Each structure stands twice: as C-alpha cells, then as structure tokens.
Amino acid sequence: MTRNLFGTDGIRGTANAEPMTAETALRVAMAAGRHFVHSNGRPKTGHRPLAVIGKDTRLSGYMLEPAMVAGFTSIGMDVVLLGPLPTPAVASLTRSLRADLGVMLSASHNPYQDNGIKLFGPDGFKLSDDVEHEVESRIDRLGAEDRAPADRLGKVRRLEDAQGRYIEIAKNTFPKGMRLDGLKLVVDCANGAAYKVAPRVLFELGAEVIEIGVTPNGTNINAGCGATAPDAMCRAVTEHGAHLGIALDGDADRLIMADESGRIIDGDQIMGLIAASWAEAGLLRGKALITTVMSNLGLEQYLEGIGVSMHRTKVGDRYVLEHMRSGDFNLGGEQSGHMIMSDHATTGDGLIAALQVLAVLISSGKPMSEVASVFMPLPQLLKNVRYTGEPPLDTESVKMAISDGEARLAGSGRVLIRKSGTEPLIRVMAEGADENLVADVVNDIVREIERAAG
C-alpha cells in the first residue's frame, strides 16, 4: 500500500512547498472531511458535520489554517478553531466536542521552516495506515459533487476557552489531594504550542514555575530550546536551584526532564519510572510497557527484574499506540520522549507524563536524581546520516558493514539501522556492554553509508 503524502506522523514538509502548500491543505481537508462524514453515518438532519483545528506557533500556521478552513467549509462542514494548543489537547477536544475529525497543524520537533498536518478521528486517536490511504486516494477523486451547495456551506467559530479546557483536563490527571507546593520547577515550552498552558497547569497545582521558551514569534519554535535542545532547561535548573526541569517539544507531545543537578532524564528513564510506579500500584494493565526498537536494553532488563514485560514496535508513537490498543495496554512511549498513557490521553502528552513523574517524586520524598535513576543504561550511540536521492541502504558495501557490525556485537548488544519517516536521514544505532566497540561499530557503518551516499 503506497502513500505519497502521509508519513509516520501525518503529512510533513517544508512550508509553502509541496506537499505543505495551501492548495494541498485545502484538498486534504476536503478529502478527510468527506471520508469521515460518510464513514460516521451521521444523519443528514439534526447534526452539522464538525472539524476542529489546532496549531502550534509556526508562522506557516497562518497560511495552512485558513486553507483547511476553506476545504472543510466548502464541503459543508462547520469548523471550530482552537488556536495554539498541544497536540494531545486537540485530540482530546476532538472527542469531547463530538467532532467528526480533528486537525493539528505542527511539525512537532522540526524547525519552523517545516510544518505538518496531523489528523484525528472522532475517537481522538491518530488515523491508521488504512484510513490515511483512503483519505489520500480520495484526494485524487475530488470533484464538483463533493462541494456543498451555497446554502449548506460550513460556518466557523473560535473556541475561546480551549486552553482552559485542556488545563483542567491535565490537572485532573494529577492525584487527588496532592499538590506541588514547595517545588521549584523549570518548564521549557520550546516557544511552541504549550507556551501558555504548561506553566499555568504547574502554577495552579502549587509550584513555583521558572518559564523559558514562552515567547514565540513564529520562527523560534524548537530553536535552541525544548525537548530536542534541553541544555537551556538544564542550565536554568542549576541557575535557579530548581528541583527539576521539564522540557516539551513544539507540539508538547514529547517530554525530556532534568534532575536538580541539571542531568538529563530521557524517555527510557521516564517510562521505567512510571511503569514501576503503576505496576506497584496495580495500575499497569497487562504488566507491560510498550516501546520501540530504540529503547535501551538496560530498560528491558530492569523491567524483567520487576516482573514487567517490554514489547517493542517500529519507531513512531503511532505504532506504539496501535500495539497498546490491540492488547489493551495503558502505558507506552519512546526513548525520544513520547509518553502515551491511554487512561488519560489518546496520544502522547508530555505535560501529563511530567505530572505522573512529579506524583512519584512527591510520594517518595526523595530528590529527583534518586527517583529518576531507574536503571543503568547500556552504552548506546545514535548517529544520523543525511542523504540526497535514494537512501543507500541497498548498496552491497553498506549491507556488508551492517552485517559485520551485527556479528561483532552478537551476544552482547545489537545494531539498528532505519530511515527517518520525516527527514532524509538514515539513523544508525548500536548498543552493547562495550562502549568502545559500540562506537567503532556505529562509526564504521556511518562511514560506509556516507561513502555510498556520495
């Protein structure tokens, strides 16, 4: 099944270049709207088809949002505009407003030059591969019959309390009766979608909040801040003597943290912490954590020791979520910081994950450095190789280098090679007990890929 528009996380690309143009956004809205209105079997009377649209703080959002509004209204759908809001908030409001579908305009952790279109079904979940294929194939079949008559065009309104609704949703995931009083927290919002709501949630729960990355200007999203550049958070933690730091990415579905010394705490440690806490409390369904092939072997070994199994999927939070739903598991995520807690949200939610960690911290009475050192990770190294044209993974010399690396690490580690689903990158990762050997294996493979790529 070939998809030209949709990747591992919706449609993504450089703003104002295909496929991230106003023209394509309009047609995606028309096709997605037609698909969901028909598949939902809504009655023709008594219900106006509805789409909700949220976005992050990229300049190109001003171009894509009205294009999608035009597409939806042209087929007779009403639209509710949410404004800048985290991806999980858009997913949640899609469901609570009983919309036919939701849209998040964001390229997540990418720089401002990129943007993306993420679609959610009426249940608040990201679309499956099959549904994305159906939407994409419908784009090529759009015709005059898909446009609504003049008296059935859609209307548009802005939901003024969208941020307030999400703030209450997030606060209600925190244990009843527990407060953040006495804690000094740094929160880095990446100049992105959570720049208003994340500090407000933490403040209303009682914390003293040091805010950074909360002055978006359309072009500074993820620029030297946020979950993909956590050094700013780490420095702020030590400068202000904070108890810990919280860094979100541009659409706030990703979380990286820091302890009181400014040491980074990655997604694997966060997942291990939450999994152990939930398992002890009897809240971890299936006694399992769902994560991807990128997670450290040390996490897997730690979970085995406490009676929790770890299931690995392909890279991408959508695949983690699909596995969670198929097996009725309630906790999953990625080493990069996506945390999915299906009891609370239908997609990754960095802020709600941070609240879960804070609950463990308060209950323990220990400093973050002790609470978050869940396991000793095995040495792991990841390098990215950028390429142009076709990815050179089928080159014989590259295949030989990969095979040689796997043989050298056999029994003590592993090699993982994959193409990025959002950028022209090949990701080369290895891990094992011997740090020097891991580095040698990665560097040898990277060198051969670079040579083959020209």
Residue with tokens 């407000």: 200
- The answer to whether residue 342 is catalytic is no
Other C-beta atoms lying within 10 Å of the C-beta of residue 342: 18
Name beta bridge partners: 245. Answer: 186, 258
Q: 108, 277, 295, 342: which one is catalytic?
A: 108
Residue with tokens 């792991």: 380
**Burial of residue 306, with CB atoms counted within 10 A of its CB: 0-12 exposed, 13-18 middle, 19 or more buried:** middle
**Burial of residue 434, with CB atoms counted within 10 A of its CB: 0-12 exposed, 13-18 middle, 19 or more buried:** middle
Q: Are strands 425-432 and 413-419 parallel, antiparallel or unpaired?
A: antiparallel
Strands in 114-120's sheet, in edge-to-edge order, are: 6-7, 10-14, 114-120, 101-105, 50-55, 78-84, 156-158
Active site residues: 108
